[in-house]
Structure 1
């Protein structure tokens, strides 16, 4: 699990780093979109052989035919789906059977925004939850401010921190990844990067 997460985050960072526009604002916006797209692609690849698993995110239109939308409740949702018959004509319809992953990403160094987005993970029933936030000047205080929210979540809770897109430069990504265990954040082995 941890190896997959770290590899997915590193891949997303690398892909987003390749995007450069004439102005910083467009570059940062495009990098944020590319970031989620790459993470979504990693989850799609991980579950690719299981046709019942769907990955939802804003730029992914593969679920639009069956569900009428791209994004479902979270920045990224991985769900096991099933089929049922419609009430009148018996037409096959897709539904969410079980949530596997909920992912929320807030890359601005804003504690209030981070708490709000992380809180969305409390609302779901996914077995695994991932919050992606910014690396800040006082990372320990920022991370610890999220502890009450992590404690309110059910399932496996992960948090990863990367620099804000405006601080991305051509260098190996800085990724700090943690799992909530025993009422605290425990680092995921950084040798896996």
Structure 2
């Protein structure tokens, strides 16, 4: 996926997350707890981005649609695959395969079913909106450095006046040097700023 294509995906996801949260917050009335409001916005952002990346991954491959799954906290539909929603990262979009169970491995007549497994990760995403905690961002960047995937995306808060922006770009470049993956850094407004700022920046880490 090119930088421009990913930018469109992020833009659609962000716009959808804002719409979903506006509707929810309108129905809920005034928010007494801003921390809870911001956490809900962050979760909705992950939900929308995961769904968009999953759909794009399906569209870009000429194989059966059910060969791709997305794992993220808000996805209860595929929880039965591994007994969890979130699989190591905020978002994993993966190409799946089926394997025999141990009992069926050497027995062609076994009837106890098959197991789904991850053949390869198409997208791995970490999103961290902390504005002044570089350690929190570094923890999630380290996860991307350890991972093996076709594409990696790190999402942070957009704050043009903060040193964190330049630091994050240089740090991610250092941690992923020599990586075979396409690595991207996205900057979107912190959930507290969604009503006044919808600017997005996206950098491909080369």
Q: Do the structures match in fold with TM over 0.5?
A: yes
Partner of 2:107: none
Partner of 2:188: 162
Encode CA deviations 1:42-87: one digit per residue, 9 max, x unaligned: 0222234632111110111222222221111100001111001112
- Match 2:40 to one of 17, 30, 41: 30
Partner of 2:61: none
Q: Is the 8 A contact 2:14 2:49 kept in 1?
A: no
In 1, Cα distance between the equivalents of 2:152 and 2:11? Answer: 18
Q: Is the 8 A contact 1:104 1:131 kept in 2?
A: yes
Which entry has the higher C-alpha Rg, 1 or 2?
Answer: 2
Higher-strand-fraction structure: 1
Q: For residues 123 and 145 of structure 1, do their structure 2 counterparts lie closer, same or farther at Cα, with a shift above 3 Å needed?
A: closer
Structure 2 portions without partners, runs of 5+: 59-63, 105-109
- Match 2:87 to one of 62, 67, 72: 72
Partner of 1:95: 117
Q: For residues 141 and 47 of structure 1, do their structure 2 counterparts lie closer, same or farther at Cα, with a shift above 3 Å needed?
A: closer
Partner-residue secondary structure (3-state), 1:51: helix
Encode CA deviations 1:96-138: one digit per residue, 9 max, x unaligned: 1111111000011121111110110111110110000111223
In 1, Cα distance between the equivalents of 2:192 and 2:122? Answer: 31
Partner of 1:39: 49
Partner-residue secondary structure (3-state), 1:14: helix
Question: Aligned pair count?
Answer: 180
CA RMSD, aligned part only?
A: 1.9
**What is the Cα deviation at residue 147 of structure 1?**
2.5
In 1, Cα distance between the equivalents of 2:148 and 2:173? Answer: 19
Q: For residues 97 and 142 of structure 1, do their structure 2 counterparts lie closer, same or farther at Cα, with a shift above 3 Å needed?
A: closer
Partner-residue secondary structure (3-state), 1:6: helix
In 1, Cα distance between the equivalents of 2:126 and 2:168? Answer: 16
Q: Is the 8 A contact 2:122 2:150 kept in 1?
A: yes
